[in-house]
A and B are shown apart, each in its own frame.
Chain A
Amino acid sequence: MPPFLTQPFPEAWRIPLRGWTNDGVNWLVATYGDVFRGITDTVLLLLVRVERGLAALPWWLVVLLVAALVWHATGRRVWPAVSLAGLLVLVGTFGLWSQMMTTLAIMLIATLFTIVLGIPVGIAMARSDRLKALLRPLLDGMQTMPSFVYLVPVVMFFGLGNVAAIIATFVYAVPPIIRLTDLGLRLVDAEVLEAAQAFGASERQTLTWVRLPLALPTIMAGVNQTIMMALAMVVLASMIGARGLGQEVLRGLQRGNVGLGLEAGLAIVFVAIVMDRVTAGYSRRWDPTAKGR
C-alpha cells in the first residue's frame, strides 16, 4: 500500500473553525457588550415583573384561573378542568409551589418571545420560497444541534441566570412555531384565497381576514410544540442558572435525593400536561373546518 494511504488525517487540512468561532464570540462580546447587557436587563426586568405578579397571586386563585382556562380551551368541559387543576394542587403538596411559579414565569416569557418573533418569521417564510429555502437548514440545525453547544456562548453573551435560560430556551423552542406558521399559511384553501383576491382584497386584508384565521389551528399546534420543547429545556436551563423546578431536579441529582428529583420531575410533567391541554384545546376550537360541539 502506498504510504500516504496509511497516514493519519493530514494536519495541513485543518480548518480552524474553533479558533474563528472563539475569536468571533469574543469580538462580539467585546464590541456589542452593551447591547447584550441591554437585552439582558430588559428581559430581566420583564421576568421580575411577571414572577412577582405570579407570586402575588394567592395559590387558590391560580388554581381557579387555570381551571377556568382549561374549561374554556376544551370547549366548556368540566372534568379536564377539575383534574388538571388538581394536578397543580398536587405540586403544592410537594412543597414546590413557588418553584413552579418561577418555572411558569420563565416559560411564559420564553413562549412570548417565540410567538412574537416566530409568527412574523413564519409569515415571511410563507410568502417567499427563497427565504424558506434559506431558513430551512438553519431551523433544522437549531433543532438538532445539541443544546449544550450553545449554552456556553449564551452564557458568555447574557451571563449566568434566568435570562440566559430564557434565551437558550427560545433558540431551542422557536423552530416549530416558525415551521407550523409557514405550513398553516401555505395550506390555506386555494379557492378561498382566490375568492379573497377576486373581490379585490389587498395583501394585508387577505393575511388578516383569511390566511391567519384559517392557519390559526396549525399555528396553535406550533405554539403547543414550542411549549413542550421549552419544558424539555427546563432542567438543562437550570444548569446555566435558571431557578425553579429544573433547579430542584438538578439538586436531587447532585445530592442523590431520588425523592426530590421525582417530585420536581412530576411537577414539570404536570405543568406540561396543563399547557398541552390548553394549547391543544384552542388549536381544536379554532379549527373552522372541524364540526363544532
Chain B
Amino acid sequence: MTNHHEEGATNGAEIHIEVEDLSKVFGPDPESIVPLLRDGVSKDDILARTGHTVGLRDISLRIERGETFVVMGLSGSGKSTLVRCLNRLIEPTTGHVRLDGEDVLALGPRALRDVRRHKMGMVFQRFGLLPHRTVLANVTFGLRVQGVSLAERREKASAWIERVGLAGYEQALPRELSGGMQQRVGLARALCTDPEVLLMDEAFSALDPLIRREMQGELVRLQQELSKTIVFITHDLDEALRLGDRVAVLKDGFLVQVGTPVEIVTRPADDYVRAFVEDVDRSRVLRARDALKFAAPHATERVEEALGRVAAGATLGEALAAIADVGGPVAVVGRNDRVLGVLDGTTALRALTERPEVKTS
C-alpha cells in the first residue's frame, strides 16, 4: 500500500513492533505446556493429552513503521490471538512483544493503559460499538477515556467522522447504520486518538463483498495519507494481497511464511500456503516488474523491439492489456524512466499461468 511494492524487499526500515518467541496456550495451567511446545508436540496431541489449546507457538516477527502487515490463516490458526497479544487483550504465555523497543509485556496496569490509550487503536470484526451511544459518542470514546475535554473531543471526532465519509450521521445510533457505515465508525474511533499502530481483526469480514472492496479502497486511501503501522488480520487471500505490504501466514499457531504478496504467491513455503494461493488471480497480484523474472535468458534485453511501455508497478493484467494494445513487447520502466527490461506476450503469459513451486529451504 505504501511504496514497498516498488522496492520489493523491506530492508533498512525502522522496526516498530517486534514479536519474539511468542507462545500462547489456553487452559488451566499454560506454563506446564511450555516444555511440550519445545518438544514439538502437535496442537492436537496437546489438546488430547492435556486439554490445553495451543493458540500460538514460537512466533517471531518484525513489523516496520508505516507498513501494512497482514496476518492470514484458516479459522483457528491463531490470528486473533496474535493481534490481541500485541495490546495484551490476551496475555501471552511466553515471549516478548516490543513496541518501539519497549517491552509491552513488562508494563504495569497503568502503563499498559497508557499505551492502549495513546499508541494503539483497534478495529473489530463485529464493530464493537456502544449500541446506546451516538456515532459521535462512539468516535470520541477513546478521547473520553483519556479525559480529553468535551470541546476538543467533538472537534477531533467531527473531523474524523467527515474523513471516513460519515458527515451528517453524528447523531445517528449504530443500529440505524449499515454494516459498512458501522465499520467506518469503528475506523474513525480507532483513528481519533491518533495512534501509531492500528490493529484490525477481520475488520471487513462481516461486510458484503462490494462494501468490503469499497472499505479496502478506503483504507488504502487513508493509509497513503496517514502511514500508520497497520496489523491487519484476515482469512481472505485477496484482501491480504490487496492490502499487505507484507503477509504472514499462520497455521495451527505456527508462523509458516512471511513475505511480500508476490513472494507468497510465487514461492509458497509449503503445501498449506500453496493451497491458499493456488486459485489466486495472478494478473492482479504480480507486477510487470515481477513478470520479467519469468522471461527466457536475454529476452528482456531487446529494448529496441519494445513497441510501448508500462510502469514497473503496473499489474501483470495491465501489462498484458498494454501488450495487446500495441501488438508486441513493451518496455517495463522503473524510477527515473530507467528501463528494467522488455516484456513480451509469451513471458507475460508464463508469469500468469506457471504453477508456484514450493520453496524448499
Chain A residues numbered 244-293 whose CB sits less than 8 Å from any CB in chain B:
286, 288-289, 291-292
Is A191's CB under 8 angstroms from B125's CB? yes
B248 to chain A, nearest CB (A): 21
A201: B residues at CB distance < 8 A: 145
Q: How far is the CB of A187 from chain B (nearest CB, A)?
A: 13
Name which of B65-73, B116-124, B295-303 contacts chain A: B116-124
Interface stretch, picked from A11-19, A192-200, A229-237, is A192-200
Stretch in contact with the other chain, from B127-135, B215-223, B312-320, B330-338: B127-135
Contact check, A191 vs B124: say whether CB atoms are below 8 A apart: yes
A190 (CB) vs chain B CBs: closest residue: B128
Q: Is A214 an interface residue (CB 8 A)?
A: yes
Interface centre among A189, A198, A199, A205 (most CB of B within 10 A): A199
Least CB distance from A184 to B in Å reads 13
Q: Is A213 an interface residue (CB 8 A)?
A: yes
A291 CB, min distance to chain B CBs, angstroms: 7
Residues in B with CB closer than 8 Å to A200 are: 112-118, 142, 145-146
Within 8 A of A (CB), among B80-127: 87, 89, 112-118, 120-122, 124-127
**A139 on the B face (CB < 8 A):** no
A189 to B131 CA separation, bound complex (whole angstroms): 10
Whether B128 lies near A194 (C-beta < 8 A) is yes
Of B120, B121, B131, B144, the contact of A289 (CB 8 Å cutoff): B131
Does B145 contact A198, Cβ atoms closer than 8 Å?
A: no
CA distance A286 to B131 in the complex (A): 11
Task: Contact check, B89 vs A199: say whether CB atoms are below 8 A apart.
Answer: no
Counting chain B CB atoms within 10 Å of each CB, which of A192, A194, A195 scores highest? Answer: A195
Indicate which residue in A198, A202, A205, A288 contacts B132 across the interface (CB closer than 8 Å): A288
- Provide the A205-229 mask, 1 if CB < 8 A to any CB of B, else 0: 1000110011000000000000000
Given A198-B89, A199-B117, answer yes or no on A192-B129 (Cβ-Cβ < 8 Å): yes
Binary per-residue interface labels of chain A (164-193) against chain B in the complex, 1 for a CB within 8 Å, 0 otherwise: 000000000000000000000000010110
Q: Contact partner of A191 among B116, B128, B146, CB < 8 A?
A: B128
Chain A residues within an 8 Å CB radius of B359: none
B254 interface hit (Cβ, 8 Å):
no
Which residues from chain B contact A288 at a C-beta distance below 8 Å? 130-132, 173, 175
Chain A residue numbers with a CB within 8 Å of B126 are: 191
Q: Is the CB of A205 within 8 A of B145?
A: yes
Q: Which of B89, B118, B127 interacts with A197 by CB under 8 Å?
A: B89
Q: A191-B124, A191-B125, A291-B175 are in contact. Are A197 and B131 (CB under 8 A)?
A: no
Q: Given that A288-B131, A289-B131 are known contacts, is A199 also in contact with B175, CB under 8 Å in the complex?
A: no
Is A198 within 8 A of B122, CB to CB? yes
Residue of B nearest to A289 (CB): B131
Q: A194 to B112, alpha carbons, bound, how many Å?
A: 14
User: Once the chains are docked, how many angstroms separate the CA of A198 from the CA of B118?
Assistant: 11
User: Which residues of A sit under 8 angstroms from B128, Cβ to Cβ?
Assistant: 189, 191-192, 194-195
In the assembled complex, the CB of B176 is this many whole angstroms from the nearest CB of chain A, namely 8
- Which residue in chain B gives the minimum CB-CB distance to A198? B122
Report how far A197 CA is from B88 CA in the complex, Å: 10
Interface residue total, chain A, C-beta cutoff 8 A: 22
Q: What separation, in Å, do the CA atoms of A191 and B186 have in the docked complex?
A: 12
**Cα–Cα distance between A252 and B306 once the two chains are bound (Å):** 110
Partner of B116, one of A198, A205, A286, A292: A198
B160 at the interface (CB under 8 A from A): no
- Report whether A199 and B122 are in contact in the complex, using a CB–CB cutoff of 8 Å: yes
**What is the CA–CA distance of A291 and B175 in the complex, to the nearest angstrom?**
8
Encoded as 1 (CB less than 8 Å from any A CB) or 0, chain B from 188 to 203 comes to 0100010000010000
Residues of B within 8 A of A210 (CB): 130
Known: A200-B146, A205-B145. A214 touches B114 (CB 8 A): no
Q: Give CA–CA (A144, B6) in the complex, Å.
A: 74
Closest to B186 in A: A195
Interface pair B132/A199, CB less than 8 Å apart: no
Complex CA distance for A286 and B141, rounded to whole angstroms: 20
Given A199-B116, A202-B113, check contact A194 B130 (CB 8 Å): no
Residues of A within 8 A of B89 (CB): 194, 197-198
Q: Which residues of B contact A195 (CB under 8 A)?
A: 122, 124, 128-129, 141, 189
CA–CA, A96 and B111, complex, Å: 63
Identify the closest chain A residue to B84 (Cβ): A194
Contacts of A198 on B, CB cut-off 8 Å?
87, 89, 116, 120-122, 199
A199 and B141 CA atoms in complex are apart in Å by 8
B137 to A, closest residue via Cβ: A209
Within B285-308, the residues touching A (CB, 8 Å) are none
Question: Which chain A residue shows the least CB distance to B120?
Answer: A198
Give Cα A198–Cα B132 distance, bound, in whole angstroms: 19
* Nearest A residue (CB) for B127: A191
Chain B nearest CB from A129 CB (Å) reads: 14
The chain A residue with its CB closest to the CB of B142 is A199
Q: Are A192 and B130 in contact (CB under 8 A)?
A: yes
> Contacts of A194 on B, CB cut-off 8 Å?
89, 122, 124, 128
Per-residue 0/1 for B163-176: is the Cβ within 8 Å of any A Cβ (1 yes, 0 no)?
00000000001010
Question: Considering the chains assembled together, what is the distance between the CA atoms of A198 and B121 in angstroms?
Answer: 7
Report the minimal beta-carbon distance from B220 to chain A, rounded to whole angstroms.
23
List 16 additional contacts besides A191-B126, A199-B193; criterion CB under 8 Å: A191-B124, A192-B130, A194-B122, A194-B124, A198-B87, A198-B121, A199-B116, A199-B117, A200-B114, A200-B117, A200-B142, A205-B145, A209-B130, A210-B130, A214-B132, A286-B132
For the complex of A and B, the 4 pairs showing the least CB-CB separation, nearest first, are A200-B117, A288-B132, A195-B128, A200-B116
Sample (11) of A-B pairs whose CB atoms are under 8 Å apart? A191-B124, A191-B127, A194-B124, A195-B129, A197-B116, A199-B117, A199-B142, A210-B130, A213-B130, A288-B173, A288-B175
List B residues at the A interface (Cβ < 8 Å): 87, 89, 112-118, 120-122, 124-132, 141-142, 144-146, 173, 175, 189, 193, 199
